[in-house]
Amino acid sequence: MYNETVPLKSETFSGVAAKSPVSQCIKTVLRRACVEKRLTIGLLPAIQYLSNNCNGALFCLTAEAPPGDSATHMHEVLLQAFCVENDIYVIKVDSQEKMRRLLGCRSQSVDFSCVLVHFPYTDPFTDSQEIDLSVLTEAERDLVDHCENTWGYSQMPVIKLPEK
């Protein structure tokens, strides 16, 4: 489901981050989604993915744009508004470099300012628009709970990701 081929570290996944700090949940969710090929990496690929499939993303993780980069900032604001309108949880993180390292990408040319985490597989033959939360991992459910608790905040909290 990648919209862009990104060389990421291949590994098996068995971690559980239930009831851990939000940053550890994010780490667990990103790594599992990577292994399951449920990520879209990069601001423009994320916008392209959402323009064709606005119900396919569970989380949109964004890192703050560098100071003075008003064009990227405007894209991010519009993307976040779109996500909120379409019930996609937006999570602001402190560093795209940390997201790059968490996913094991060595290439500096890949844009990690935005990472979409897609829903786990759902049956395409059902007409239901409701999301079956039972298919989410415990870490994903914990992250959903965190997002629900911060949904109405006027200033979105920035989550400090772990270094590794």
CATH topology of domain 22-121+131-159: 60s Ribosomal Protein L30; Chain: A; (3.30.1330)
Where does residue 25 rank: exposed (0-12), middle (13-18), buried (19+ CB within 10 A)?
Answer: buried
The pLDDT of residue 113 is 92
| Residue 79 near residue 111, CB atoms below 8 Å | no
pLDDT tens digits, 69-115: 888 888 888 999 999 999 999 999 999 999 999 999 888 888 999 99
pLDDT in tens, the chain (164 residues): 444 444 444 333 333 333 458 999 999 999 999 999 999 999 999 999 999 998 899 999 999 777 888 888 888 889 999 999 999 999 999 999 999 999 998 888 889 999 999 998 755 444 455 566 678 999 999 999 999 888 777 778 889 998 87
